[in-house]
């Protein structure tokens, strides 16, 4: 009986639900058919009809519409009412409409490729970070249209053409087929180019009466003392001499890359698939297939056998890493970390206060480099084949390169969030004032980063913020607390120039790029997993020759050959 009542209730609920569904469905379908009719006319009718429609719309608001597809950033309140959006709309006399893509970049990319391959009418502009290969592919397929004529025409794109960094950007955005399908976000910040920074526990050094190590051998001695003499004084032998975290999950925390640079220059796989230039400045070499690399592995393997190097650095993710750094009392002696954000509370973290930045160590052969790479701009802003008013899309694209707009894309509203006014800047200390004597030219009044805000699109658009802009930035110093500036300039002093001639970011032709993608993926995985195996001793170093043979089987020489061709082509130009 009870069961029957329940079943009746359930079926009743279901029927009511159905009716409710129909009811709201009626309303909704009304709306949605309106909406889809609208997009539909735009999508499927020929140019005559659809040019009528915007004209009608335009009559109402007096503006033309531009649709932009952009991956939604959860920390941007509302793209429609955003300050940057309003600024563009007003000054470019345009109405921006947004089509939001998923936040996860891989999802956004699959959605874009789906939209392109389904033959749907694409938004006028795609504003997301794509790789050069992806841009080239869409360009060759005709999904993105070339912008060459506009960019080479100083009247069509005045801001782009008056930029100091124009050449650097042009080089990055020109695809292998000679066309330009994209604009770029150009914001080189030298702090980001040498992320593999190593920190040593100064408090422990002082306690054990040791000096900061300068060579690999000295580091070993210091680490032995760390591991055995209980520097944190809790009576337990819990000190970890050297630790780190995996390069795929964290930024600049993989200590082996730092240590390896005391044996041979390696860019930490941050560009050109880890390849580098030989000393002659002409030959492209693979650092990970050299005798010096082997020597580096041997050194790290010794550290590991003596229990100084924490093997969990090959598996630890960001969360575990932070938990380790935050232990109280501190148990870490020496660690590679890109930025202090990995300590909870960052600069104010108690544990962080114990650390000091350590210069690149000198290896047995006198090598002491830092894992540096050449900055390469991020590609943003493509105009699609369905864009009816390319000139307008170009105008908006160019607008981002106006200096104050570029600053807005990163810092927010002029005069409210940042100012170049001397009255404000004179009150502030520049980020590199101590290191390079560059005074502050950009005062930050209200920090619009790392919070939910409605001033900019979180930098996810074209812009031009040169090295000079960055260096003359406000150090955000409050009172006497200038640690941010000091740490950055120390890092600059110790790491920025510590490298041989860099291999520029190689530009491949479409054909080369496709082949390389396959080869490089295999090789990179193999090199990093072998590194872990050799260092932890899971694989004896006597197996080195097999490692080289295996690399050869993965077509390393072909990779080098293509890189050499690309490099020669670039240096001829």
Partner 1 sequence: MKKNRKKTGSSDLLFYSITGVIITAFFLIVLYPVIFVIAASFSSGDAVTAGKVFLWPVEFSLDGYKTVFNNTQVLTGFQNSCLYMLVGTTINVVLTMCAAYALTRVELPGINKIMFLFTFTMFFSGGIIPNYILVRNLHMMNTMWAMVLPGAINAYNLIIARTFIQSNIPRELREAAEMDGCGDIKFFLKIVLPLSGAVIAVLVLFYGVANWNSYFNAMLYLNDKEKYSLPIVLKQILISSQIDPSTVTDPELQMQIARIANVIKYALIVVAMLPIALIYPFIQKYFVKGVMIGSIKG
Site residues (CB under 8 A) for partner 1, limited to 407-466: 449-452, 459-460
Given the complex with partner 1, which of 256 and 338 has the nearer CB atom? 338
In which element (H, E) is residue 257 found?
helix 255-260
Going by C-alpha positions, the residue among 266, 328, 329, 251 that lies closest to residue 300 is 266
Of 132, 134, 185, 398, the residue at the interface with partner 1 (CB under 8 A) is 185
What track of x and - describes contact with partner 1 for positions 461 through 500 (by CB under 8 A)? ----------------------------------------
Find the part of the chain contacting partner 1 (CB under 8 A) among 36-44, 224-232, 289-297, 437-445: 36-44
Given the complex with partner 1, which of 380 and 544 has the nearer CB atom? 380
Among positions 240-299, residues that touch partner 1 (CB under 8 A) are 247-252
CB of 229 to partner 1, least distance (A): 26
Find the part of the chain contacting partner 1 (CB under 8 A) among 109-117, 162-170, 236-244, 352-360: 109-117
Cβ burial 135-168 (10 Å sphere, 16+ → b, else e): bbbbbeeebbbbbeebbeeeebbebbeebebeeb
Of 4, 209, 542, 545, the residue at the interface with partner 1 (CB under 8 A) is 4
Torsion of CA 445, 446, 450, 452, to 10 degrees: -150
- Distance separating alpha carbons of residues 263 and 260, to the nearest angstrom: 5
Find the part of the chain contacting partner 1 (CB under 8 A) among 45-53, 88-96, 188-196, 357-365: 188-196
Among positions 529-568, residues that touch partner 1 (CB under 8 A) are none
Residue 50 binds partner 1 (CB under 8 A): no
Residue 350 binds partner 1 (CB under 8 A): no
Among positions 200-219, residues that touch partner 1 (CB under 8 A) are none
Residue 342 binds partner 1 (CB under 8 A): yes
Residue 386 binds partner 1 (CB under 8 A): no
What track of x and - describes contact with partner 1 for positions 57 through 76 (by CB under 8 A)? ---------------xxxx-
326: left (phi over 0), alpha (psi -120 to 50) or beta: alpha
Residue 191 binds partner 1 (CB under 8 A): yes
- Distance separating alpha carbons of residues 476 and 449, to the nearest angstrom: 13
Within 280-361, strands assigned E span: 284-285, 332-336, 355-358
For residues 190 and 469, the answer to whether their CB atoms sit within 8 Å is no
Of 82, 179, 187, 425, the residue at the interface with partner 1 (CB under 8 A) is 187
Residue 25 binds partner 1 (CB under 8 A): yes
* Chain-centre distance for alpha carbon 165: 20
CB of 289 to partner 1, least distance (A): 23
Using only the alpha carbons of the chain, give its radius of gyration: 28
Given the complex with partner 1, which of 83 and 544 has the nearer CB atom? 83
What track of x and - describes contact with partner 1 for positions 126 through 155 (by CB under 8 A)? ---x--------------------------
Given the complex with partner 1, which of 214 and 458 has the nearer CB atom? 458
Strand order of the β-sheet with 64-71 is: 94-101, 64-71, 125-126, 382-383
**Does residue 476 sit in helix, strand or coil?**
coil
Residue 319 binds partner 1 (CB under 8 A): yes
Residue 348 binds partner 1 (CB under 8 A): no
**Does residue 104 sit in helix, strand or coil?**
coil
Residue 86 binds partner 1 (CB under 8 A): no
Q: Which two tokens stand for residue 328?
A: 């109280």
- Distance separating alpha carbons of residues 157 and 169, to the nearest angstrom: 14
- Distance separating alpha carbons of residues 541 and 533, to the nearest angstrom: 9
């Amino acid at each position: 009986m009870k069961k029957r009542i329940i079943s009746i209730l359930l079926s009743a609920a279901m029927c009511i639900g159905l009716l409710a569904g129909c009811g709201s469905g009626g309303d909704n379908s009304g709306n949605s058919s309106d909406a889809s009719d609208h997009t539909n006319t735009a999508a499927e009718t020929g140019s005559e009809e659809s040019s009528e429609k915007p004209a009608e719309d335009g009559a109402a608001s007096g503006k033309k519409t531009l649709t932009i597809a952009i991956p939604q950033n959860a920390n941007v309140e509302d793209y429609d009412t955003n300050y940057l959006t309003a600024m563009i709309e007003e000054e470019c006399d345009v109405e921006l409409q947004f089509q939001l893509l998923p936040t996860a970049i891989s999802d956004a990319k699959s959605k874009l490729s789906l939209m392109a391959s389904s033959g749907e009418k694409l938004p006028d502009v795609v504003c997301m970070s794509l790789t050069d290969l992806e841009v080239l592919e869409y360009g060759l397929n005709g999904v993105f249209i070339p912008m060459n004529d506009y960019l080479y025409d100083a009247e069509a794109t005045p801001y782009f053409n008056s930029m100091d960094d124009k050449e650097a950007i042009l080089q990055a955005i020109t695809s292998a087929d000679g066309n330009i399908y994209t604009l770029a976000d150009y914001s080189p910040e030298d702090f980001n180019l040498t992320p593999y920074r190593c920190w040593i526990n100064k408090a422990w050094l002082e306690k054990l009466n040791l000096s900061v190590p300068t060579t690999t051998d000295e580091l070993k001695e210091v680490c032995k003392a760390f591991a055995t003499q209980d520097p944190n004084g809790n009576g337990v032998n819990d000190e970890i001499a050297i630790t780190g975290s995996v390069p795929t999950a964290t930024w600049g925390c993989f200590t082996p890359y730092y240590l390896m640079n005391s044996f041979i220059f390696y860019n930490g796989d941050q560009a050109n698939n880890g390849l580098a230039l030989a000393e002659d400045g002409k030959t492209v070499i693979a650092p990970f297939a050299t005798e010096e690399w082997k020597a580096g592995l041997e050194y790290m393997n010794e550290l590991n056998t003596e229990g100084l190097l924490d093997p969990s650095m090959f598996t630890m993710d960001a969360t575990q890493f932070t938990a380790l750094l935050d232990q109280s009392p501190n148990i870490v002696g020496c660690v590679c970390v890109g930025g202090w954000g990995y300590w909870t509370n960052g600069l104010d973290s108690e544990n962080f206060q114990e650390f000091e930045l350590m210069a690149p160590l000198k290896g047995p052969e006198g090598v002491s480099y830092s894992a540096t790479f050449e900055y390469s701009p991020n590609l943003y802003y493509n105009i699609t084949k369905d864009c009816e008013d390319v000139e307008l899309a170009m105008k908006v694209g160019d607008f981002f390169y106006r200096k104050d707009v570029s600053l807005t894309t990163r810092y927010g509203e002029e005069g409210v969030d940042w100012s170049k006014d001397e009255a404000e800047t004179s009150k502030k200390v520049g980020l590199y004032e101590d290191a390079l004597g560059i005074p502050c030219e950009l005062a930050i009044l209200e920090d619009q980063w790392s919070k939910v805000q409605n001033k900019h699109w979180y930098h996810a658009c074209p812009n031009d913020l040169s090295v000079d802009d960055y260096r003359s930035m406000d150090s955000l110093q409050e009172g006497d607390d200038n640690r941010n500036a000091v740490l950055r300039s120390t890092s600059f002093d110790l790491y920025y120039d510590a490298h041989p001639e860099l291999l520029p970011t190689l530009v491949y032709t479409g054909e080369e790029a496709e082949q390389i993608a396959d080869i490089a993926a295999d090789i990179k995985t193999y090199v990093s997993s072998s590194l872990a195996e050799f260092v932890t001793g899971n694989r004896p170093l006597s197996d080195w020759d097999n490692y080289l043979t295996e690399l050869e089987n993965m077509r390393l020489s072909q990779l080098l050959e293509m890189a050499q061709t690309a490099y020669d082509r670039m240096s001829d130009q």
